[in-house]
Amino acid sequence: MMLQKAKGKLKSLSSEVMLPLSSSSFLCKDFNFMTDPPPPFSFIRLSHGKGSCCFSTVTVHNYLPLSKRCNVTVSGTSLFLDLGISEKETEALLDKHQALKLETIRARIHDLQNLGIIGHVLSTLVKKRPHVLIAPQTHSLLSFLSHEQMKGVIEAAQLARLLTATDPKFLSDFEAKVRLLLDLGIPTERLAHVLNNVNLTKALCFKSLEDIERMMAFLKGFGGVNLILGRPAILNFDLDSQLVPRIEFLLDMSGGDEAATTAVLLKLPFILAYSVDHYTNHVDFFRSYAGLTDEEIFKIILVYPSLFSASRKRKLHPRIEFLKQCGFSSNDIYKLLIKAPLFLSLSFEDNLAHKLLLLLKIGYRHGTKELGLAMGWVCRTSCKNMQEVISLFLNYGLTCEEILAMGKKHPQVLQYNHKSMKQKLDYLTEEMGYEVKEMLAFPAFLGYGFDGRIKHRFEASGKISGEGMSINKLFSMSTARFSKKQEKKLPAAMTKIS
């Protein structure tokens, strides 16, 4: 009879029903009475088949959704859900970090949001480093950065990287270290530039106050604050194992000249990113393959510190080999690299190959010193400008042979700006009345300033007795000599007028 009644009641139910049962075996309909954490739930399982029905008791843990079984006011669960952290991730987070179930994390998250860490960045930070929300050092850091004078100094992305990569125990002296940088000379208005262009973990957190002070004291003799402002990432380096050996290497190359070494560092602070082994390999190459002395090598470094950025295999070796094939001696190589160091680092495929082809088209020959010199000088101009210069000369009636002769006499001529050259050629032929071929004897004319030298000297000479003077004589004399000559002629000219 009981079996038949049970079957009748189960007709409208599924094949298996679970009803929650309290610890005293009374059915309970209120699922929201649970405390945090919730106790286990017991259920009556009713199963029926064609001719039977059985009852069993099942104990289920965490049956209700997390949002139902957690006290939101205490745990902050809903806050995590609002950040975009899934219920499953939140549950795992709270199970692993019980201390996160504190109301104080609301204030900590609010501080992070006020400092610009929001959305996906914030949720990622909480999931990866949840303990930063409860660490007292984090609270101290965020309080410091929330001050009016510091708010916005460190960008949100940089702050997120700091909190993600750094154990909170290393954050304790952050404020003191920032204030030390200011005391050591970093301008307040440049503090943001420095802090946002370093690895804060390496530059500040892993270094003690004494380490930072000792580093700044050493760098003071080699550019100091200006060097740091030029490349803040220098603060990432270790003083004893990185900065001291690298600077001492350059100092030795300079012959102990601190001023020259400082000039190199200030010109290219990035040079300190290279190891001593890197410096040594490059210097040894120039010693052995190019035949240069340490003094000559350092002078090239002083002009062009970026030579350490050039690959020895892909750039330095082929370029020096080319110059040697052109008949350059060690002294010739040194002179060219002092004047045209870009030759060492420009791309061959995208730059030098095109210029080499243009030079060969106008008559330069392989294996000649003239070709090597021309290649050095055209490094200072673009391929497009070089083409425009050659076209300009051709349009003025010059032949390739005449352009070649002019280039051999004055290799710089192919590097000048074509617009400036056109202005000078127009003035030479139209205003001064000279033939364009007059320039072949003195191509350096095209390198002088238009207003300050060419126009001024011609007008000054023309008003007195400049007619018929060669452009070589008119423009090659020094400014002092030209002025003295004009002063001598001025009284005679005045006498004739009177």
CA–CA separation, 471 vs 128, rounded Å?
A: 75
Residue entry with tokens 């290649």: 375
Measured in degrees and rounded to the nearest 5, phi and psi for residue 47 equal: -120, 140
User: Checking DSSP bridges between strand 41-48 and strand 16-21, what pairing results, if any?
Assistant: antiparallel
| Residue 312 DSSP SS3 | helix
Residue entry with tokens 């003295």: 484
The structure tokens listed for 481 are 């000599």
Domain boundary assignment for the chain: 2-64, 71-172, 173-273
Each residue's pLDDT, cut to its tens digit, for the chain (498 residues) gives 444 544 454 444 444 434 343 333 333 333 333 334 444 444 444 444 444 444 444 444 443 344 433 333 334 567 677 777 777 887 777 777 777 666 677 888 889 999 999 988 998 888 888 888 888 999 999 999 999 889 899 999 999 999 999 999 999 999 999 999 999 999 999 999 999 999 999 999 999 999 999 999 999 999 999 999 999 999 999 999 999 999 999 999 999 999 999 999 999 999 999 999 999 999 999 999 999 999 999 999 999 999 999 999 999 999 999 999 999 999 999 999 999 999 999 999 999 999 999 999 999 999 999 999 999 999 999 999 999 999 999 999 999 999 999 999 998 899 999 999 999 999 988 888 888 888 888 898 898 898 888 888 888 776 444 455 678 877 877 777 777 776 666 554 444 444
Helix 330-339 / helix 294-303 crossing angle, nearest 10 deg? 20
